[in-house]
Amino acid sequence: MAATEQPDRRPPRAAWMQWAILAVATSVLAIAAGGRFLVGLVFDEMQQHFHVSHGGLGSVVSVSVLMVGLGQPLVGWLVDRFSARVVAAGGLLLLGTGLIVVSQAGSGLGLVLGYGVLTGLGLATLTPTVMTPVVAAWFERRRTTALSVISTVNPLGQSLVVPVLALLVTATGWQDGYLLLGLLVATVGAPLIFVLLREQRRVSTTAERFTGCGARQAVSSRAWWQLALGFFVCGFTMSWMMTYFVDYALQHGLGRGQAAAGLSLMGWMSLAGALATGWWLDRAGTTLPLSAVYALRGAGFGLLLLAGSWTPAVMLAVAVIGFSWSATTPLTSSLCVALYGRRNLGTIFGLLFAVMPIGSAAGAALSGLLYDLTATYQPSLALNLALGVLAAAVVLPIRVAPRFRPSATPATRSAAPRLAD
């Protein structure tokens, strides 16, 4: 028999505590998001120091990204077995150590070890996979809204953290900058996150924290694969914008400054989209918001397909894509809580989140191949349009647990997960 929820007896301080924890989690992820731009800020200087080509340094970055993506299932498992603050603090220690190793390295081997392996493993712990279980435990009625705030970390990191990092490496030189940043992350950041990232131990049900299915049961359900397809499409389409949009814009008569303005617009629209769709899901309690997000992603590429050299149409397309940019992660993670419960949420969502970089790798490679074969971006734009529509259609039929719907009362909502057939 499923355990039923009891009235919320959360102490008064928890009302403000949950938002404080959300602020801590968001700050950590925003710093990590900005930190991913460290190599790009000093790419040419690192090339000269290590005597590597564009492709060589790019390969080291790829190793780091691969560590982040493929490390998500392990990171999720560690969160479930230990705690998010232990994992995040350990990740900051790895990240700081990696930066210090890079700052002192004199060969390519040190670069691969420091940035490719240690920094990659450290960044793997500073992702929504770690923070989703924390936020899910602290928030119930506004859970998706809170997860949407977490998803704003990428634009926040780009707009707030990157300029600070640029000033640091400009003032000190890249090696001293990496050394100083590594020491701060390892000796200040790790202890602080261990102290500040408090996890919710009180639960509003007799068994909610321990109720849920196993990872194997989740992965064997149809809903997991439907959500996974969505994440694959998300990564696939995002890689086109990150890799090819500027080149596309230049080919269609836009200046580099206009292309950069388009990317900036996309970042701000992603903030609005994540918060708006999170608010919608908290009230709708269905998969319609996630389906609408994927439909918008496809529609944005359809607009790019038709825009040609008309700058307003290109900017409109970028705005539509941007609105859907950050929304997929909080919507999907919130649906995971509803479908599979909290017991193994870190592992289950970690496995799911790992699908996104696979989609990104496939998107970057296939879109480039299509361009090489046709000398135009039209086929890849059409493919991204089709994939957005496909993802929208695939996630819409997922059935959501009754306890996730706002209309359910505390007395009637079940704490047991409901798996789609």
> Percent of the chain beyond pLDDT 90?
19
Find out whether 286 and 400 touch, Cβ atoms under 8 Å: yes
DSSP-derived 3-state class of residue 410: coil
340 Cβ neighbours under 8 A, 6+ residues apart: 212, 213, 218, 348, 417, 419
What pLDDT does residue 162 have?
66
What pLDDT does residue 386 have?
97
User: Which of 158, 177, 150, 188 minimizes the C-alpha distance to 333?
Assistant: 150
What pLDDT does residue 200 have?
60
Q: How far apart are CA 341 and CA 206, in angstroms?
A: 14
Q: How far apart are CA 187 and CA 337, in angstroms?
A: 34
What pLDDT does residue 33 have?
66
Q: How far apart are CA 224 and CA 222, in angstroms?
A: 6
Q: Is 349 left (phi over 0), alpha (psi -120 to 50) or beta?
A: alpha
Burial class of residue 405 in the structure, from the number of CB atoms within 10 Å of its CB (0-12 exposed, 13-18 middle, 19+ buried): middle
- The 10s digit of each residue's pLDDT in 300-335 is 999 999 988 888 999 999 999 989 988 888 889 888
- The 10s digit of each residue's pLDDT in 272-305 is 888 888 788 777 778 899 999 999 999 999 999 9
DSSP-derived 3-state class of residue 126: coil
What pLDDT does residue 290 have?
93
Task: Name all domains of the chain by residue range, CATH numbers in brackets.
Answer: 13-196 (1.20.1250.20), 211-404 (1.20.1250.20)
User: Which of 308, 316, 318 minimizes the C-alpha distance to 245?
Assistant: 318
- Helix and strand tally (H, E) in the chain? 23, 0
CA angle 153, 242, 135 (to 5 degrees): 20
Report the b/e string of 213-234 with b at 16+ CB within 10 A.
bebeebbebebbebbbbbbbbb
User: Which of 326, 319, 332, 323 minimizes the C-alpha distance to 398?
Assistant: 332
> Which residues on neighbouring strands pair with residue 414, listed in sequence order?
4
How many CA atoms does the CB half-sphere of 389 hold within 13 Å? Answer: 9
Q: Give φ, ψ of 212 to 5 degrees.
A: 150, 170
Q: How far apart are CA 214 and CA 197, in angstroms?
A: 26
- With a cut of 70, which residues of the chain have pLDDT below it? 1-16, 32-37, 40-41, 43, 54-55, 58, 136, 140-144, 147-148, 150-159, 162, 198-212, 401-421
Cite the DSSP H helix spans in 197-255.
Answer: 215-219, 222-251
64 Cβ neighbours under 8 A, 6+ residues apart: 115, 116, 117, 119, 120, 123
Q: How far apart are CA 32 and CA 34, in angstroms?
A: 5
Q: What is the distance, to the nearest Å, from the Cα of residue 321 to the centroid of all Cα atoms in its chain? A: 16
Concatenate the DSSP letters of all residues of 369-406 into one string. Answer: HHHHHHSSSHHHHHHHHHHHHHHHHHHTT----GGGST
What pLDDT does residue 90 have?
92
Find out whether 30 and 86 touch, Cβ atoms under 8 Å: no
What pLDDT does residue 326 have?
80
Q: How far apart are CA 357 and CA 235, in angstroms?
A: 6
